[in-house]
A and B are shown apart, each in its own frame.
Chain A
Amino acid sequence: MSLLKADGIVSGYGEIEILHGVSLAVGAGEVVAIIGPNGCGKSTLMKTIFGLLEPTQGTITYNDADITGMAPHDIVCLGLSYVPQADNTFLSLTVEENLAMGAFLRTDNYAKQAEIVYDLFPDLKERRDTKVSALSGGQRQMVAMARALMLEPQLLLLDEPTAGLAPVFVETVFGQIEHINQQGIAVLMVEQNARMALEHAQRGYVLASGENRFTDDSKALLANEEVARLYLGGAA
Chain B
Amino acid sequence: MIALVVDGVILGSILSLGAVSLTLVYGIVRFANFAHGDLMAVGAYVAFFLVNTAFVALGFPDATFGPLSFGLPMLLALPVAMLVTAGVAVSVDRLVFRPMRQRSYAPVMFVIGSLAVAFAIRALLFIIWGPEFHFFTQALRPALQLPYEVRVKPDQIFILLACLTMVAGLYLFLQRSKIGKALRATADNPDLARISGINTEHMLVWTWAIGAAMAATAGILLGIDAQLRPEMGWNLLLPLFAAAILGGIGNPYGALIGGMTIGIVQQVSTAFLLPTYKPAVAFVILILVLLIRPRGILGSEQRGF
Contacts and interface: CB of A to CB of B under 8 A. Distances in A.
Contacts of B199: 71, 73
B189 interface: yes
B196 A104 contact: yes
Given A97-B184, A101-B198, A104-B182, 15 more contacts: A50-B195, A71-B199, A73-B194, A73-B200, A87-B192, A90-B192, A90-B304, A91-B188, A91-B302, A92-B188, A93-B304, A101-B182, A104-B198, A147-B196, A151-B197
Interface string A135-155: 000000000000100010000
A50 B305 CA distance: 27
What 3 pairs across the A-B complex have the smallest Cβ distances?
A92-B304, A105-B197, A76-B197
Interface residues of A, number: 25
A55 B88 CA distance: 36
Contacts of B200: 73
B178 A104 contact: yes
Contacts of B191: 52, 84, 87
B194 A72 contact: yes
A118 interface: no
Interface string A73-108: 100110000101001111111000100111011000
A87 B189 contact: yes
A100 B177 CA distance: 11
A133 interface: yes
Contacts of A151: 197
B302 A133 contact: yes
A87 B195 CA distance: 12
Interface string B281-305: 0000000000000000000001111
Contacts of B98: none
A104 B194 CA distance: 10
29 contacts: A52-B194, A71-B199, A73-B199, A76-B196, A82-B195, A84-B195, A87-B191, A88-B192, A90-B184, A90-B185, A90-B189, A90-B193, A90-B304, A91-B188, A92-B188, A92-B303, A93-B181, A97-B185, A100-B178, A100-B181, A101-B181, A101-B182, A101-B185, A101-B193, A101-B196, A101-B198, A102-B196, A105-B197, A151-B197
A132 B188 CA distance: 12
Interface string B180-224: 011011011101111111111000000000000000000000000
B192 A77 contact: no
Given A87-B191, A88-B192, A104-B178, A93 B197 contact: no
A84 to B, nearest CB: 7
A133 B192 CA distance: 15
Contacts of A76: 195-197
Q: Which of B178, B195, B198, B304 has the most CB of A within 10 A?
A: B195
A87 B182 CA distance: 16
Contacts of B195: 50, 52, 72, 76, 82, 84
Contacts of B182: 101, 104
A71 B201 CA distance: 11
Contacts of A104: 178, 182, 196-198
Contacts of B197: 72-73, 76-77, 104-105, 151
A93 B198 CA distance: 15
A151 B196 CA distance: 9
A57 B51 CA distance: 60
A77 B194 CA distance: 12
Interface in B71-94: none
Contacts of A72: 194-195, 197
B106 to A, nearest CB: 14
B151 to A, nearest CB: 42
A236 B182 CA distance: 48
Contacts of B185: 90, 93, 97, 101
Nearest to B104: A14
Contacts of B198: 73, 101, 104
A151 B199 CA distance: 15
B200 to A, nearest CB: 8
Given A100-B178, A104-B178, A93 B188 contact: yes
Nearest to A102: B196
Contacts of B302: 91-92, 133
